Structure 1
């Protein structure tokens, strides 16, 4: 029963049922398949060893500090080509064309899944203007494929944009590509519309609204920490002035109870460009965000009396 459950797991992995998963996820899936039986799922070390023995060189484990091992499976290019040539003799012209397209898609997908992605930091949005930088995060096979299809002006820009959309669709959970992420942040900041971001995300044109909100929270905590360290602006050139205003809502009250009093605060900085630092991905801690939202008030006390 245990071997059968493991066999079903490997078939689902081979058929790309899961985009991204960890060794812990594999144990949980096997536990689900063993429901109703007396057998227990494999332990974490044994599951990792069994996956390595089964997939051999076609599997790799990405180790990240503080996180479970992420399992990455990519097809062997020689195996894909071998399967294509073995079936070639048994197909007619249209069938052969279909097999060529499928083989090319498998090769591109294999290259996409073999890309190393830095999941500790959010993409550097300052690099969006650099076409070469955006193209470098794509596999050569996908770039070649898109260059062959796309025509007209700004071919490289379109290839980078469409390429990252395809790569993001192939790895929706295990990667976050710069253009997809940058478009989502730009749309949200420009229009403040969750509906618009969600619609574009469903169409595959940008990241999700939830990812944008997580980024904003991480950025607020990041810059709040820099503020406390005195490193918010460029050294020896910057000045920060906090501007605040209050708002009161006294609706349907005669006694003054149940009213709302709020205050909004923003930081005015000069020069406007901040020192370049990447934003680290981190879990959102409401208590930490609340603490960083506080501004320490310093009172001026003149050292000379009677002035």
Structure 2
């Protein structure tokens, strides 16, 4: 095995001398070397560790010793960074993304979020943010190395969203969480400007798409995710919770109150569909729906409420006899003499 590793190292040395340390040739990815020696059990991480040792043994000239007609070391570093960015952009361009569909709920866990990120991008962010990973040249392709750092995955999703101009699972999920917890349009748009989540318009578009997808013209409404459920347990149970959410239950004049009720259906357990995969949600271009546009899961039609321009008031009293009272009357004097305490 040592002979095979030495052979791979010699090949890598010649490759680096012709590419990385060459002043005339551009840098190309080392994936070809990995594919060539995969039968020798030489991983990409092992090859990069050998390359790090080789680079540390190479004498780099000082900046002042470089002639004026030779590109400076800084230009060489920029050339290397530009080539690395081209490699990452190429791998991000190969990501399959369906722009007219939202991912199903089954693909929102950390495992699917990690699979969405190319290994090269994940390794690069890990080397930039983790001193241990950079020193050991740890790669997610190595045996025993898991691609489960949520912070690194989130940064990768942000970079992919900015590079591809698409929404990723984490960028969409963060905006939905902020909308659910705080409901602040300004905060979502501010996070969107920083590149951490999608815009507020995309949140509205997602909520509208989910509402249309889950709405069915039936008297008894059951979510589609439960309609297509394949029972994993022997006796699965679907629970229902019903409660009212009143707002302004009591006011001075009995107006501006809200008395509403909502029902929630939920299944305790893992959801698995007949085809083994969840169905995505079609992405609609609209951000809202009008009343009566679609058939709702109840028979009565919704009527739009038209707020009156003027609040109703008691009718004025026009009978003067009810206002003018004879102050000298015996009934008035008797009432004034009574102790009302």
Contact 2:217 2:297 in 1 (8 A): no
> In structure 1, what is the Cα distance between the partners aligned to 2:217 and 2:91?
38
> In structure 2, what is the Cα distance between the partners aligned to 1:264 and 1:290?
22
Contact 1:124 1:178 in 2 (8 A): no
> In structure 2, what is the Cα distance between the partners aligned to 1:84 and 1:295?
73
Of 237-246 and 153-162, the range deviating more from structure 2: 237-246
* Shift, 1:128, TM fit: 3.6
Q: Do residues 157 (structure 1) and 135 (structure 2) align?
A: no
- Structure 1 stretches of 5 or more lacking a match? 1-79, 254-258, 298-307
**Which has a greater percent of strand?**
1
Number of the residue aligned with 2:41: none
- In 2 relative to 1, CA 287–143 (structure 1 residues): closer, same or farther, beyond 3 Å? same
> In structure 1, what is the Cα distance between the partners aligned to 2:298 and 2:125?
51
Number of the residue aligned with 2:264: 268
Contact 1:112 1:167 in 2 (8 A): yes
**Which has a greater percent of helix?**
1
Given the two structures, how large is their TM-score scaled by the length of structure 2?
A: 0.50
Q: Do residues 222 (structure 1) and 213 (structure 2) align?
A: yes
Equivalent residue for 2:282, pick from 256, 280, 295 = 280
* Shift, 1:265, TM fit: 5.2
* Shift, 1:239, TM fit: 6.0
Number of the residue aligned with 2:56: none
Number of the residue aligned with 1:186: 177
- Structure 2 stretches of 5 or more lacking a match? 1-18, 28-68, 134-146, 228-235, 272-277, 301-341
Q: Do residues 195 (structure 1) and 186 (structure 2) align?
A: yes
Q: How does 1:68-83 map to 2 (within 5 A)?
A: none
Q: Secondary structure at the match of 1:105?
A: helix
Q: Which gives a bigger RCO, structure 1 or 2 (Cα 8 Å, sep 6+)?
A: 2
Number of the residue aligned with 2:109: 129
Q: Secondary structure at the match of 2:109?
A: coil
* Shift, 1:105, TM fit: 0.8
Q: Secondary structure at the match of 2:151?
A: helix
RMSD of aligned alpha carbons = 4.1
- In 2 relative to 1, CA 270–205 (structure 1 residues): closer, same or farther, beyond 3 Å? closer
Given the two structures, how large is their TM-score scaled by the length of structure 1?
A: 0.54
Q: Secondary structure at the match of 2:215?
A: helix
How many residue pairs match? The answer is 209
Q: Do residues 166 (structure 1) and 168 (structure 2) align?
A: no
Contact 2:246 2:258 in 1 (8 A): yes
Contact 2:157 2:168 in 1 (8 A): yes
Report Cα offsets for 1:80-131 as digits up to 9, x if no partner.
99x984479952211101110111112211221222112232134544432x
- In 2 relative to 1, CA 182–164 (structure 1 residues): closer, same or farther, beyond 3 Å? same
